[in-house]
Amino acid sequence: MDFKVLFCSFFMFHLVSFYGNNAIEERWLGVNLRPFVFPLRLPHTIALEYFTTEDVVIRTFPTEVNLFRENAEYTKNMSLELENSCGYSKSMFDEKDVVMLTLVEKDIDNVTSKMVKSIEIDPLSVDFYPHKITTETFKKQVQLKLMDDLTRTCISYYYEHYKVERAKHSQFPLRDLDLERRCASYQSNNCTFVHKEVDYPRVLAETEKLIRAMKYLRLFDISSMECNLGQLHKRVNLEMDNKTASLLPKLTKNHSFIANFIDSKGKLAMSVVIWEYQIIPNQ
C-alpha cells in the first residue's frame, strides 16, 4: 500500500502542479466519427450513436458492477476487432490493477496545490457503463437500426406526428396522401416493421463490451489512425460512501480529487482530475 501511494504520488506530481493553474475539463462528447477501420456491425453503430456520452464513475463502495463478468463467448469477435485495430481489448479493471484516489487542496494563493491524502480504491468499483440500457429499450434501438430509411421515416412521422396531429385536430382532418400511399406500399409494410430474428443477448453483450472498451482505451489515451478515439473527451466522476468520506478532512470548495489508474497487464498509467464528486448516503 505504501509503495503504491509513493508510486502514484511521483506519477501525479506534474499533474498536481499543472492543476494549480489550469482546471482540466474533460468530457465524453457525442461526435459523428468513424473511429475504427474495420467494417462496422450492428453493435458498433448502436454503441457509437447512443452511448458515447457516458461518464466513467469511480465508487468507493461495491455495486453490481463489482460482480459483472464478461461473457467471453459472446464478445470474442468484438475483442478480436479491438485487438487488431487498437492493439488492446481490455474494457474494465481487474484485481491486479491499481486505482488510487488523491485529495488535493489549493493553497491560499489559489495558484499552487498540495496532496492531502491518498486512498486506494477497489478497481472493480470503476464503472465504465453506469447508465445501463434495459433489454426492452435495447431491442427497440436494434429494430430501429435494422429498418430501411423509407420504413423508418414512415413509422417515425406517421405515428409520432401525422396520427397525433389528426387526433388533436379532428375537426380539420389532415390528409397526407403521399404519406398514406407510401405507408400502404409493399416496401414499408403499411407503416409497420416485421421484426427480424436477432440474437439479442449476443448483440447486447458486444455493444456493452464496445462501450466499456472505448472508454477504457480513451482513459489511457490509446488512440491511432486505426483506433481514432482522440475526439472522445474523457470525464470521470466520483461517488463516495460516508465511511470513505469520514477518512478525509471536511471538504470545501478548495478541495478536489485526482484519480490515478494503473493497468498491470498493459503496463499503462494515467492520472485524471475528477470532474465532480458526491457523497452517497446509506452505503
How sure is the predictor about 156, in pLDDT bands with cuts at 50, 70 and 90? Answer: low
pTM for this entry: 0.78
Count Cβ atoms below 10 Å from residue 82 Cβ, excluding itself: 24
* Sheet of strand 276-280: strand arrangement: 126-127, 56-59, 236-241, 276-280
Query: From residue 216, how far is each of 13, 64, 91, 126, 234 by CA, in Å?
Result: 23, 19, 5, 10, 10
CA distance 166 to 50: 31
Overall average pLDDT of the 187-213 stretch: 81
87: left (phi over 0), alpha (psi -120 to 50) or beta: left
**Is residue 213 pLDDT above 80, yes or no?**
yes
How sure is the predictor about 14, in pLDDT bands with cuts at 50, 70 and 90? Answer: very low
Q: For residues 78, 84, 86 and 88, what is the CA-based torsion angle, rounded to 10 degrees?
A: 70
- Per residue in 106-146, pLDDT (tens digit) is 887 767 888 899 999 999 999 999 888 888 888 888 887 88
Which 8-state DSSP code applies to residue 174?
Answer: -
Q: What is the pLDDT of residue 229?
A: 86
- Per residue in 41-57, pLDDT (tens digit) is 999 988 888 776 678 99
**Is residue 73 pLDDT above 80, yes or no?**
yes
Give the gyration radius of the chain's Cα atoms: 24
Query: From residue 279, how far is each of 60, 143, 184, 241, 283 by CA, in Å?
Result: 10, 39, 55, 6, 9
